[in-house]
């Protein structure tokens, strides 16, 4: 038995109309001057006002609403500059994964005027503890509200700022906030959350606690994602999906993700395919590739997906898990083949080369990935 460590947010407040407590939460953090970090889409949905109005009743509020999706180092530096412009004592991130990651950067930047964003890249490079931050997710997918990572595109590659200072002081989850997601986004982000949970469960970095988070996330997603997709106004399904995505974030924030995310980051960097769609598409192929090295884990995944595995061998149960994930992708009308996404077949060797460079993800993969394996995997992803 080893010794394990798990990093988690300090406080999670969730439920219907939880947004009414934003002022009290800000007060609890001793805030006087808050910066809300968000993006144009959230502004259009009216959610920015829903958060800004009660916050303004208790603290001074400034807004940065220009976060780009998949932010580059330059974009992250712009957020940091805005944050350093005043002595904010609270950063509120309101949005999807990119926004929440930029809120982490903003709160680190205020506390570390001597560092630029590139100084933060890597593990434990933020010198002083960040100012308090409240993270409010508007999708149920990335799990960014629960992880110690902020992801930034540097020279076409996704790099991480990994620090316990990135963890939220308060996570605030309101099901009505994710109810504004259209069905397509509900589907892809929900399957991205499933890929986090399954990859974290398979990861060599998994431990008994991250397994508990991952397996419960898988169960909740299997039970609620198709309902949230079909009936977006079902707040019960929405809340359960938010909890699942956060649990998956708690799992992969500590156990790490594996070759599926190496593939998703590579695909996302080269084509206009969202991260969520790419990691959802990769998931069954990653399970298939790893099955020989992780049958027992995949049998547990099958059980949490709701499959009847009584009397089956681990190998048979693992096949059921893979088949169920494929069925979910089809039911959610998500792409299952790279060929359907206009990825040229001639690019496959290059994609395999790029995946092989994602050494951190590959090191945690339960089955060793050689170059020939990566080629076969992308070929399978392409042809289905």
Q: How far is the CB of 195 from Fe ion (least distance, A)?
A: 6
Among 130, 163, 174, 279, binds Fe ion (CB under 5 A): 279
- Stretches 39-47, 124-132, 273-281, 324-332: which one binds Fe ion (CB under 5 A)? 273-281
Q: How far is the CB of 284 from Fe ion (least distance, A)?
A: 15
d(CA 15, CA 306) in angstroms, rounded, equals 26
Q: Quick one: 61 or 276, whose CB is closer to Fe ion?
A: 276
Sequence-distant (6+) residues with CB within 8 A of 144 are: 96, 97, 100, 101, 135, 137, 249
Q: How far is the CB of 111 from Fe ion (least distance, A)?
A: 28
Q: How far is the CB of 261 from Fe ion (least distance, A)?
A: 6
Question: Helix/strand/coil (H, E, C) string of 141-204?
Answer: CCCHHHCCEEEEEECCEEEEEECHHHCCCEEEECHHHHCCCCHHHHHHHHHHHHHHHHHHHHCC
Beta strands at 157-162 and 149-154: parallel, antiparallel or unpaired: antiparallel
Q: How far is the CB of 193 from Fe ion (least distance, A)?
A: 8
Q: Quick one: 282 or 291, whose CB is closer to Fe ion?
A: 282
d(CA 25, CA 23) in angstroms, rounded, equals 5
Q: Quick one: 65 or 358, whose CB is closer to Fe ion?
A: 358
Beta strands at 133-137 and 90-95: parallel, antiparallel or unpaired: parallel
- Stretches 208-216, 279-287, 303-311, 355-363: which one binds Fe ion (CB under 5 A)? 279-287
307: helix, coil or strand? coil
223 to 262: interface string for Fe ion, x by CB under 5 A: ----------------------------------------
Q: Is 266 in the site for Fe ion (CB under 5 A)?
A: no
Q: Quick one: 149 or 177, whose CB is closer to Fe ion?
A: 149
Q: Quick one: 145 or 192, whose CB is closer to Fe ion?
A: 192
Is the Cβ–Cβ distance between 198 and 287 less than 8 Å?
Answer: yes
- Stretches 80-88, 204-212, 230-238, 278-286: which one binds Fe ion (CB under 5 A)? 278-286
d(CA 187, CA 265) in angstroms, rounded, equals 19
Q: How far is the CB of 364 from Fe ion (least distance, A)?
A: 14
Q: How far is the CB of 264 from Fe ion (least distance, A)?
A: 6
- Stretches 28-36, 102-110, 274-282, 349-357: which one binds Fe ion (CB under 5 A)? 274-282
Q: In the 8-state DSSP scheme, what is residue 343?
A: -
Q: How far is the CB of 336 from Fe ion (least distance, A)?
A: 17
Stretch 164-203 residues interacting with Fe ion (CB under 5 A) = 192
- Cα R_g (the chain), whole angstroms: 20
Q: Quick one: 48 or 200, whose CB is closer to Fe ion?
A: 200
Total interface residues for Fe ion by CB under 5 A = 2
Burial 170-186 (b: 16+ CB within 10 A, else e): bbbbbbbbbbbbeeebb
Is the Cβ–Cβ distance between 33 and 87 less than 8 Å?
Answer: yes
Is the Cβ–Cβ distance between 197 and 266 less than 8 Å?
Answer: no
Is the Cβ–Cβ distance between 36 and 52 less than 8 Å?
Answer: yes
Q: Quick one: 131 or 258, whose CB is closer to Fe ion?
A: 258
Q: Quick one: 39 or 192, whose CB is closer to Fe ion?
A: 192
Q: How far is the CB of 279 from Fe ion (least distance, A)?
A: 4
Report residue 131 as tokens. 């100012």
Report residue 343 as tokens. 């990825």
Beta strands at 12-14 and 33-37: parallel, antiparallel or unpaired: unpaired
Q: Quick one: 210 or 279, whose CB is closer to Fe ion?
A: 279
The binding site for Fe ion (CB under 5 A) comprises: 192, 279
């Amino acid at each position: 038995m080893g010794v394990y460590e798990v990093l988690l947010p300090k406080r999670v407040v969730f439920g219907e109309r939880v947004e009414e407590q934003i002022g009290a939460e800000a007060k609890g953090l001793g805030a006087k001057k808050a910066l809300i970090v968000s993006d144009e889409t959230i502004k259009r949905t009216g959610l920015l006002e829903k958060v800004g109005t009660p916050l303004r009743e208790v603290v001074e509020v400034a807004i940065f609403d220009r976060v780009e999706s998949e932010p580059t180092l330059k974009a992250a530096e712009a957020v940091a500059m805005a944050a350093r412009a005043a002595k904010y004592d609270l950063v509120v991130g309101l949005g999807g994964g990119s926004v929440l990651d930029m809120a982490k950067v903003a709160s680190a930047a205020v506390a570390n005027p001597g560092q630029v964003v590139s100084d933060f890249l890597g593990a434990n490079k933020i010198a002083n503890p960040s100012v308090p931050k409240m993270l409010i997710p508007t999708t149920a997918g990335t799990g960014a509200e629960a992880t110690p990572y902020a992801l930034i595109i540097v020279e076409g590659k996704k790099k991480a700022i990994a620090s316990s200072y990135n963890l939220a002081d308060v996570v605030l989850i309101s099901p009505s906030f994710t109810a504004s997601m259209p069905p397509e986004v509900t589907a892809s982000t929900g399957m991205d959350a499933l890929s986090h949970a399954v990859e974290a469960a398979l990861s060599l970095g998994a431990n008994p606690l991250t397994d508990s988070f991952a397996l419960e996330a898988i169960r909740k997603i299997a039970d609620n994602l198709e309902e949230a997709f079909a009936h977006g106004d079902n707040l019960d399904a929405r809340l359960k999906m938010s909890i699942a995505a956060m649990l998956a974030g708690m799992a992969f924030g500590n156990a790490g993700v594996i070759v599926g995310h190496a593939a998703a980051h590579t695909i996302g960097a080269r084509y206009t395919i969202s991260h969520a769609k790419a990691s959802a598409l990769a998931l069954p192929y990653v399970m298939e590739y790893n099955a020989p090295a992780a049958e027992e884990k995949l049998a547990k995944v099958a059980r949490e997906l709701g499959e009847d595995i009584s009397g089956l061998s681990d190998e048979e149960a693992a096949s059921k898990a893979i088949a169920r994930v494929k069925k979910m992708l089809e039911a959610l009308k998500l792409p299952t083949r790279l060929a359907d996404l206009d990825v040229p077949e001639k690019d496959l060797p290059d994609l395999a080369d790029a995946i092989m460079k994602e050494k951190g993800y590959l090191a945690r993969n339960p089955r060793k990935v050689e170059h020939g394996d990566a080629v076969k995997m992308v070929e399978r992803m392409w042809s289905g």
